[in-house]
Chains A and B, each alone.
Chain A
Amino acid sequence: MGETLQFLLSGLTSGAIYALIALGFTIIYNATEVINFAQGEFVMLGAMFMATFCAHGLPIPLAFVLAITFTAVAGILIERLAIYPARNASPITLIIITIGLSILIKGLAMFVWGKNPLPVPSFVGERPLNLLGATIIPQSILILVAAVIAVWTMEIFFQKTLPGKAMRACAANRLAARLLGIKVEPLVLLSFALSAALSALAGVIISPITFATYDMGTMLGLKGFSAAVLGGLTSSTGSVLGGFILGVLESFAAGYLSSAYKDAAAFIILVLMLLLRPEGLFGKKEIKKL
């Protein structure tokens, strides 16, 4: 019981991180139909900025806000400098551009911050708590709370606010949205900023546990992508649930089957999902079978 709960808790913690990244994928995909393979680098940038600001003695809340803002700005810059100029290119070209961006950002991060992991202080103390025979560190609870709040805020944004509704309209049918007088360009910028901010949040809150390293984004990004595909790529609810499901399954696979193959678990789920139900758990069934 205690063991199962332990795996569940650690799975939910990493699941929360995957969920935030997957939501970022979905937001950009819905706005631009670009699968942004540089998503993981936003996570890394968030963690790196956080580590830098903390090292300079900034109070944690301020560093937190600054790290996320800086990454959001990076997201906007990337859209302007690399995605926007190639907006008429084929999807393959755009995918490759984002992969190139990911390599480029990672290289820059290695140049600026070096190869060693940078420590980030824990936000809420380090003493583990006991919960029905399982231990949980306070930072994990914080991760779960932060993820839930972020996802909830996004949901309110998409359902209640005008820009959020416009973004949904844009995702449903870009041309129709344009005809209704919705300006698509600022929405695309906004989607990059939001998506980068969500991923940065994931990076910031996980950094006290994993430290910040220049290459931390690749694996996290790919797993977030798997989570998004699991949820259906176009559905924000789906991608969040996909994140949690992936995290928990991965944790159980690592705990009960083999910890060595932990990193493969997420991708086995991804491949199985693509083979068996390519539209994802919650995606629209728009896939055309040939």
Chain B
Amino acid sequence: MKGHYLALAILAGILLGVGFFNQNDYYFNVLNILLLKGLIVVGLCLLMGYAGQVSLGHAAFYGLGAYTSGILTAKFGWSPVSALFVAQGVTLLAALVIGIPALRLKGHYLAMATLGFGVIVYVIFKEMIDLTGGPSGLVGIPPLQVFGHTFLESREYFFLFTGALILAVLFALHLAHSPFGRALLALHDSEAATMSLGYDTGRLKLIVFLISAALAGLAGSLYAHFAMFISPTSFTFLHSVKFVTMVVIGGVASLWGALLGAALLSVLPEVLTIFEDYDVLVFGTILVAIMIFLPEGLFKGLGTLVQRFRKVRPGSLNLF
């Protein structure tokens, strides 16, 4: 745990340094999106690495957060903070409806159900034109306002999102090292064994699923106010797949790896603009190649290299 605090402090230090010294708004915009993706990925990493379940519909939760916040503030004049709480409620409710039945079953029913759910939500965003603005998007979302302070600059959002991400990581780390996290860890290794210890495994999985959906919804609400414009194209099946990919690239059970994956996949398209439309080609190749050659992810794959030069404490948990 000490190492994690150190890593977190270093991450926070770097982000604050960037926040104070960077003057370029474009960098802030790229980084802000990256931080929001980081929020989603933290939740998804808990779900995939611990509960051993995949969600192929996290873009829908991201979108539900964004659209609920966007619609309530832009169309009904709600304050951003109260809209954010309602958005959390809507996201959690949707996750409950999908999660309760799907997680009672063994196997990859959650993946299938969230896939279907994701497409349905996308179609609703696209077709419920009166509320969502349809394919051309929802305009007129006000900037975030908390305690009378209005967030206007990208830099302000950057500090806010950095804070949110650091808190989320801290929460995830503590969760992972709590009795609840231990139960999840056991669940990942053997569902039967965990059940025999008296844990309701369906409920454990459901709680993690709800946490991950809530984080995605939060990222969505923040995104709506930061971008002040949202359209259905940001919440497609491909986006859900990209979130899963970020987690997988880093190594399913490694929070830091997942964040690394989020950073790589968010920054890569910006760097490789020469590829234009063909960035999907690069993206697909990277995904397949990593899954085949480094099924444990970049982080662990690189980690094993490092471990050759370092004594590994026996019995130390390699997760997180």
Contacts and interface: CB of A to CB of B under 8 A. Distances in A.
A274 B112 contact: yes
A81 B96 CA distance: 39
Contact of A261 (B98, B127, B202, B245): B127
Contact of B284 (A86, A103, A258, A287): A103
A92 B113 contact: no
Contacts of B252: 92
A38 to B, nearest CB: 10
Contacts of A275: 101-102, 113
B202 A290 contact: yes
A133 interface: no
B109 interface: yes
A229 interface: yes
Contacts of B124: 261, 264
B283 interface: yes
Interface centre among B54, B112, B237 (most CB of A within 10 A): B112
A107 B105 contact: no
A91 B202 CA distance: 20
Interface string A79-97: 0001001100111110111
Interface centre among B123, B238, B277 (most CB of A within 10 A): B123
Interface stretch (B114-122, B137-145, B171-179): B114-122
A100 B288 contact: yes
B284 A274 contact: no
Interface residues of A, number: 46
Contacts, number: 136
Contact of B127 (A96, A115, A229, A260): A260
Given A264-B124, A274-B102, A96 B280 contact: no
Main secondary structure of the interface of B (DSSP, over half): helix
B180 interface: no
Interface centre among A95, A102, A229, A290 (most CB of B within 10 A): A290
A222 B115 contact: yes
Contacts of B54: 92, 95-96
A88 to B, nearest CB: 9
B81 interface: no
A267 interface: yes
A111 B123 contact: no
A271 interface: yes
Contacts of A267: 115-117, 119-120, 123
Given A95-B54, A97-B288, 11 more contacts: A82-B288, A92-B54, A95-B111, A99-B287, A110-B281, A218-B237, A222-B237, A226-B116, A229-B112, A287-B105, A290-B106
16 contacts: A92-B54, A92-B252, A96-B248, A97-B287, A222-B237, A225-B112, A225-B115, A229-B112, A264-B124, A267-B117, A274-B112, A274-B116, A278-B105, A287-B106, A287-B107, A290-B104
Interface of B: 48, 52, 54, 98, 101-102, 104-109, 111-113, 115-117, 119-120, 123-124, 127, 191, 195, 201-202, 237-238, 241, 244-245, 248, 252, 277-278, 280-285, 287-288, 291-292, 295
